[in-house]
Each structure stands twice: as C-alpha cells, then as structure tokens.
Amino acid sequence: MQIPIEYYLILSAFMFSVGVVGVLTRRNAIVVFMCVELMLNSANLTLITYSSYLGDTVGQLFVFFVMAVAAAEAAVGLAIIIAIFRNKLTINIDEINILKW
C-alpha cells in the first residue's frame, strides 16, 4: 500500500513549523542555527516527496544543492559563533546586545 502524499507534506510542514518556532523562541545561537537546519530539512523532505510522486529527478537534484549550501552556511556560521564567543564568552543572543535589535 502506498502512503498518501499528504502524510509526507503534513510531516514536513510540521517540521518546518517546529523550526520556525524554535528560531523565534530559543536563545542559544547554536540551537537557533539547528532550528534553521530543521527548516531546510523539511524543505528537502518536501522536494523528495514531490520528486518521487511526480517521477521527476529535479527535486532530488535540488536536495543535493540544498545540502551543499547548508554545509557551507554551517561552516561560516559556526566560525562567526566561535568569533563571538572569543569576544564575549557567551553565545546567548539575549546577551549579545551592544547594538539594539
């Protein structure tokens, strides 16, 4: 029995919402970044779902690009987080407030 496409889409929409809420509520820079990765992964799940149901490989190709870009972003992002930790000895974004938000 084939699982209906709606199940996958609802799961990925749920993952996306968890990511958005996490970014908005969590205060640790690394956890915020992990929530962003969750959002990207939910998009990947949607792409793969459609790719499989449409019988089209473009979606799967796109996932590889998204993963490569996410890896590049992680490299830069973690470097920035390390740099701010060296300066301030904290990565809590409530305490990083010389500039007003």
Q: Is 19 exposed, middle or buried (0-12, 13-18, 19+ CB in 10 A)?
A: buried
Asked if 26 is part of the footprint of another protein (rule: CB under 8 A), the reply reads no
Asked if 43 is part of the footprint of another protein (rule: CB under 8 A), the reply reads yes
Asked if 34 is part of the footprint of another protein (rule: CB under 8 A), the reply reads no
What is the contact surface with another protein in residues (CB under 8 A)?
16, 19-20, 23, 29, 32-33, 36, 39-40, 42-44, 46-47, 49-50, 54, 56, 58-59, 61-62, 65-66, 69, 72-73, 76-77, 80-81, 83-84, 87-88, 93, 96, 98-101
